[in-house]
Amino acid sequence: MTDDRHRYGQSGEQLAVAFLEANGYTILERNFRTRLGEIDIIARHKGVLVFVEVKARRSRRHGDPKWALTPAKQRKISMTALVYLKRQGSTQVRARFDVVTVQRIDGRPQVELIRNAFDLAYA
């Protein structure tokens, strides 16, 4: 990944964190990594543990960013979430997967939250 793309991704994540916090989310961790993959943001919202994937795009040239979350990526996030839950000893908590998209429209960032974007995918 180029430095420019990396910086834009970090900027998108920062916008997502600010948006989530403004909407009542408590951020627990950012960029949780295992050998299986990474989860951008882990938060708590109204008693539910939320695993958040952030998709940031400069334009819609490659389509809407919410469609970039392929089934394979969902499986990687799911497996990483299971590792997190096991490490925390929290396998019986309510959890969900949200997606935050950040894209530039008319030069200004637009943030969209998709709650319950996908179910646990492990097959």
Backbone angles phi, psi at 91, to 5 degrees: -75, -10
pTM score of the predicted model: 0.88
- Could you say which DSSP state residue 47 is in? T
CB 63 within 8 A of CB 109: no
In a domain, 113, yes or no: yes
| pLDDT at position 56 | 85
35 CB-contact burial (10 Å; exposed 0-12 / middle 13-18 / buried 19+): exposed
Q: Three-state DSSP class for 40?
A: strand
Whether 123 is in a domain gets the answer no
CATH number at 98 reads 3.40.1350.10
Q: Per-block average pLDDT, block size 10, for the chain (123 residues)?
A: 61 92 98 96 97 82 69 94 92 91 84 92 68
- For residue 10, the model assigns a pLDDT of 75
Sign of CA dihedral 26, 31, 34, 38: positive
Does 68 map to a domain? Answer: yes
Whether residue 10 is contained in a domain is answered as yes
Instruction: Decide if 31 is inside a domain.
Output: yes
- What local confidence, expressed as pLDDT, does residue 8 receive? 55
pLDDT of residue 107: 76
Indicate whether 63 belongs to any domain.
Answer: yes
Q: Tell me which residue range forms the domain holding 52.
A: 3-118
Q: How many domains does the chain have?
A: 1
